[in-house]
Amino acid sequence: MDKIFLKNCEFYGFHGVLPEETALGQRFVISLILEMDTRIPGKSDEVSDTVSYADVFDTMRVIVEEECYKLLETLTDRLAMVILEQYPLIEFVTVTAEKPRPPINGHFESVAVEIKRSRKDIE
């Protein structure tokens, strides 16, 4: 299966368990791997034969910036399900949702959740 990558897309959202996370918000970094057959658009050179990266980015933006979830697990699952529902050419999607600076006492780069879902998961 061919892959399309959208890497390190940055958004500002209000997801988290702690009250300050949902009140103040924080930066989220989302990466996607879209698995689909790209032979037809590879030959036709027509955007109508593939998935618009700009449209997928806008879909992510709406979910991350306008919806609110306690868990990264919920956010990643919601992103995966909506992307599969809205873009029927995509067979599999891998979503990585990262919090670069969560309010956890300690020294580390980030926390993240990664999931992979397929078209059969929405049926």
Choice among 7, 99, 116, 120 that is catalytic: 99
Residue 31 CA to residue 75 CA, distance in Å, equals 13
Domain with 12, as residue range(s), is 2-122
State residue 94's pLDDT score. Answer: 98
Give the mean model confidence (pLDDT) for residues 86-100. Answer: 97
Give the type of residue at 121: D
Could you tell me what percent of the chain has a pLDDT over 90? Answer: 88
Phi, psi of 99, rounded to the nearest 5 degrees: -105, 105
Residue 91 CA to residue 6 CA, distance in Å, equals 16
The CATH code of the domain that includes 86 is 3.30.1130.10
Helix axes 53-66, 72-86, angle to 10 degrees: 140
Report whether 6 contacts 31 (CB < 8 A). Answer: yes
pLDDT tens, position by position, 35-91: 999 999 999 999 999 999 999 999 999 999 999 999 999 999 999 999 999 999 999
| 99 given a catalytic annotation | yes
Mean pLDDT of the chain: 95
| Closest to 116 (Cα-Cα) out of 96, 100, 99, 98 | 96
State residue 56's pLDDT score. Answer: 98
State residue 101's pLDDT score. Answer: 84
State residue 108's pLDDT score. Answer: 85
State residue 28's pLDDT score. Answer: 98
Count of domains in the chain?
1
- Beta-sheet pairing, 26-36 with 111-118: unpaired
Q: Counting beta carbons within 10 angstroms of the beta carbon of residue 98, is it exposed (0 to 12), middle (13 to 18) or buried (19 or more)?
A: buried
Given a cut of 90, whether residue 102 has pLDDT beyond it is no
pTM of the model: 0.94
